Structure 1
Amino acid sequence: MTRKADMTAHPTIGDSQKPSRRAIAACVLPVALLLSVALEGSAQAAEPVATCGSTITTDVTLTADLFCPSGDGLILGSNVTLDLGGHSLIGSGSGVGVQTTFPSEGGNTIRNGTIENWATGVQLQEESPTRTPYVVIDVVLRNALLIHGPTNGTALQMTRVTADDSTVYGQLGGDLAISESRFTRSPVNLFYASATIVKSTLVQSHVSTTARGQVIIDSSTLDGKGAGSPGSMSETGITITNSAVKNFAEPIGGFWGGVTLTGNKFSDMPDGVLGDVSYFASEAVSTITDNTFLRTGVALRGNVPMIVENNTFKHGEVAVEFTRAEPFPGDPPHTAEGSRAVGNVIMNHTGSGITTELPGLEVGGNTAKNNGGYGIYAPGAVDLGGNVAFNNDLGQCVGVVCGRK
């Protein structure tokens, strides 16, 4: 009020009455400083606080390890990045380490740190309406399984993830894309979902798929350390390419599925590489091409149809057995139609090279030598010519004509 009165009393200000620039600056600087402090305080107030059980709605970076002695860890809102900052989120063996809120639009990223000692380490329970992939990158999971279970086909990208004793689940459309990662005693289990695994190492880490989708493994190393199986399937398929697979006690198995093996090296698998995966499913074809099999027992014991081309088998028990389960009562006898063995090299096995009791197997261009059984035993085969066999203990070939070297 006083200021208004003052202004009325002095409607104009002469030059002699104007404040100096120094006086103006003296007034402006404190105001600017106060405004800066106020803004800084607001920014600090807006920083999310990551405490056990808290819901995070904006991007957050941990500045220290966070230990949660009970309950859950962190809950992420939509499109939130959790940067662990090189630190660890540690539980007491129960609860969920990191989970998405309900409901959520998804689109979350978890990166750069360790999630350790949780009943469930990561649970992505919602889906992104836009199908923006979830991302887990540069994270160590230790005793902390991961569950990815959206229902609309949103993928999870796992890059440079180390999983120790931490099963990884893809469920209900939760497809997985795993690259440059190492899983130890950490199986990958899929249900109505697929997985693509590239440039990764799986140690004692079984891969299984059920009911939908498939497993694709490329340019990777799988080591069973003397136990387990590389993978199993039910009503789906497994593809392994350009990989090294070794030291498994059991073969790839399952039912109503097919396997594609291309350009791999399989070694030290005494019970074989492939079991009866096409049981009662003639439409499921297994294709095995350009692989090397060393010390692999009965390497391929697959129910037909099975296509085996341009592989090398050394120092096993039997290279390939083309089999089929007994037909149901009233069904016609099974055959090997649709199956073929072409261009394979088989040597130094304790038993036969290629063997089947089923008629109709196409056989051509194979070389079998120095085996303890027959080179090729395939009565009723379709002879495509060009087979070579020598120095096989029980005889060279049955069912096809074989030349010598």
Structure 2
Amino acid sequence: MIRHSRTLSSAWFAAVGATALISVLVTAPTAHAAHLSCGQTVTTSVVLDTDLLNCPGDGLVVGSSGITIDLNGRTVDGVGLGAGIRNDGFGNVTITNSAGTPARVKEFDHGVKLNPGTSGNIVEKLTIHNNELSGVELNNADSNNRVRNNLIDQQAQRGVAITGGSSDNVLADNTISANQGGGVFVQNSAGNRLEGNQITGSGDAGLVLEGSSGNTLLTNTVGGSSDAAIILRLSSNNNLVQSNSSAQNADAGLTVSGSTGNRILSNTFRGSGDSGIVLDSSHSSTVTGNDVSANTGGIELSYSGNNLIQSNIANDTTGDGISLAHSNNNNLELNQANRNGSRGIYVAGDAAPGAGNQLVRNTTNANLSDGIVVAKPVHTIQGNTARDNRSWGIFASPGNVDGGGNLASNNAKPAQCTGVVCTP
């Protein structure tokens, strides 16, 4: 179940990892076989030659920089206290498994815990399960730590926690499954890269950023969460969420609340219990090139302004393809909202003069209600296409701006459009 590590981009590697990795390769001493005991502080590179069972506190404690701890297919097992492996600030430490059989870290409070001052560590190829609080925790871990190619499953709470100002770290290519709390939780931490992780069966949300800005979420797969697949909340600003996918989560594919300046690009969110993408009191974000088909709703904005919603696919939902409530100064351009169970695009809520939304060149065909409904004035409707809908092609209340070029045909209402002029 453990996968080979992907190659991260050269720019990222140069920025955060190259110097630390070279230091590890050059300075790490040769590991030797070691018969260790529970709670032992490790100051030289070692290869475990026996299991550590029923440790009453910590399993192993890192006591020096630049060393390698090779679990060698052994088990480090606790009684629900301490950490399986704890590092209180030593740099360039590698915790790995060279054996062909799983190396297990289990039944502690935390499986692996990197504490303040820790930098340049590698945690890889481990099987971390049945811990109480987290499988892996970075607590104010400085930078350049890489957690990769691990199986992290069945924790009583979170799979991975990155908290307390842990910045510029990498979480890549891990399988994070069946944790009773969230899969990954990032709090008050910036500049981290979460890439290529498989996050499934979480008892809470799959992946959460809370008060965390400037992070990159790339090509992660999230499925079967009891809450949303991905959540950005509480001033999680200026993050990049790109090329992730989700399916069969109990709530939304992606929820952004109380956050600004995020870029949400080329993601696929399907089979959600709520809308594919939800923006709530969130502003100045770019939502481009996403596929949010086959959810309860497609893209949903409430009390959110100055967002660009462009070139998204919001088809085949059971509700509205794209809906805006009390949300102004948004640009909706070149989106598809077809074959939805209700309306293609629905805009509701008052707007002051000059603060309307711009609906430009969207396609809204074959919806079970109207193609486009704009229920309040001062919004601009221009160059949209609305065909084969079960009610109006375009319904615009008085006071909206007809930007011209709207097309409508074969809609159930004989007039095709009201409030704007449509041509076939």
Give the TM-score category using the shorter length.
0.7 to 0.9
Matched, 1:150 2:151: no
Matched, 1:404 2:404: no
Partner of 1:295: 294
Task: Measure the CA separation in 2 of the matches of 1:64 and 1:49.
Answer: 6
TM-score by length of 1: 0.77
Matched, 1:353 2:339: no
Greater share of helix residues, 1 or 2? Answer: 1
Give the drift of 1:389.
0.2
Partner of 1:164: 153
Matched, 1:126 2:130: no
Task: Measure the CA separation in 2 of the matches of 1:319 and 1:54.
Answer: 58
Task: Measure the CA separation in 2 of the matches of 1:362 and 1:231.
Answer: 28
Partner of 1:192: 188
Matched, 1:86 2:73: yes
Aligned partner of 2:93: which letter? N
CA contact (8 A) 1:77 1:106 kept: no
CA contact (8 A) 1:96 1:118 kept: yes
Matched, 1:248 2:237: no
Matched, 1:96 2:66: no
TM-score by length of 2: 0.74
Give the drift of 1:384.
6.0
Of the structure 1 ranges 392-401 and 288-297, higher mean CA displacement relative to structure 2 is found in 392-401
CA contact (8 A) 1:111 1:138 kept: yes
CA contact (8 A) 1:156 1:174 kept: no
Aligned partner of 1:84: which letter? L
Give the drift of 1:136.
0.5
User: Mind listing any 5+ residue stretches in structure 2 that lack a counterpart?
Assistant: 1-31, 98-102, 397-401, 410-424
Give the drift of 1:179.
1.3
Partner of 2:59: 73
Task: Measure the CA separation in 2 of the matches of 1:255 and 1:291.
Answer: 18
Give the drift of 1:246.
1.1
1:225-264 to 2 correspondence within 5 Å? 227-232=226-231, 233-237=233-237, 238-251=239-252, 252-253=254-255, 255-258=257-260, 259-264=262-267
Give the drift of 1:184.
0.5
Aligned partner of 1:192: which letter? N
Give the drift of 1:276.
4.1
Give the drift of 1:210.
2.0
Partner of 2:128: 141
Partner of 2:224: 224
Task: Measure the CA separation in 1 of the matches of 2:241 and 2:339.
Answer: 26
Aligned length: 338
Match of 2:166 among 166, 174, 193: 174
Partner of 1:107: 92
CA contact (8 A) 1:200 1:221 kept: yes
Of the structure 1 ranges 53-62 and 381-390, higher mean CA displacement relative to structure 2 is found in 381-390
Task: Measure the CA separation in 1 of the matches of 2:256 and 2:263.
Answer: 14
Partner of 2:211: 211
Give the drift of 1:122.
1.3
Using the aligned pairs only, state the percent identity.
18
The alignment partner of 1:68 has SS state of strand
Give the drift of 1:105.
3.3
Match of 1:373 among 361, 369, 375: 369
CA contact (8 A) 1:362 1:381 kept: no
Structure 1 pair 110–198 and aligned structure 2 pair: CA distance change class (3 A): same
User: Mind listing any 5+ residue stretches in structure 1 that lack a counterpart?
Assistant: 1-45, 325-334
Task: Measure the CA separation in 2 of the matches of 1:390 and 1:92.
Answer: 65
CA contact (8 A) 1:344 1:366 kept: yes
CA contact (8 A) 2:35 2:48 kept: no
Give the drift of 1:382.
4.5
Partner of 2:25: none
Aligned partner of 1:96: which letter? A
CA contact (8 A) 2:274 2:297 kept: yes
Task: Measure the CA separation in 1 of the matches of 2:323 and 2:245.
Answer: 23
Give the drift of 1:346.
1.3
Task: Measure the CA separation in 2 of the matches of 1:389 and 1:134.
Answer: 55
Give the drift of 1:320.
1.3
Structure 1 pair 370–344 and aligned structure 2 pair: CA distance change class (3 A): same
CA contact (8 A) 2:33 2:48 kept: no
Aligned partner of 1:392: which letter? N
Give the drift of 1:135.
1.1
Aligned partner of 1:74: which letter? L
Aligned partner of 2:175: which letter? R
Deviation sequence 1:215-237 (CA, Å, 0-9, x none) = 42212211125x32112221114
Aligned partner of 1:200: which letter? N
Give the drift of 1:51.
0.8
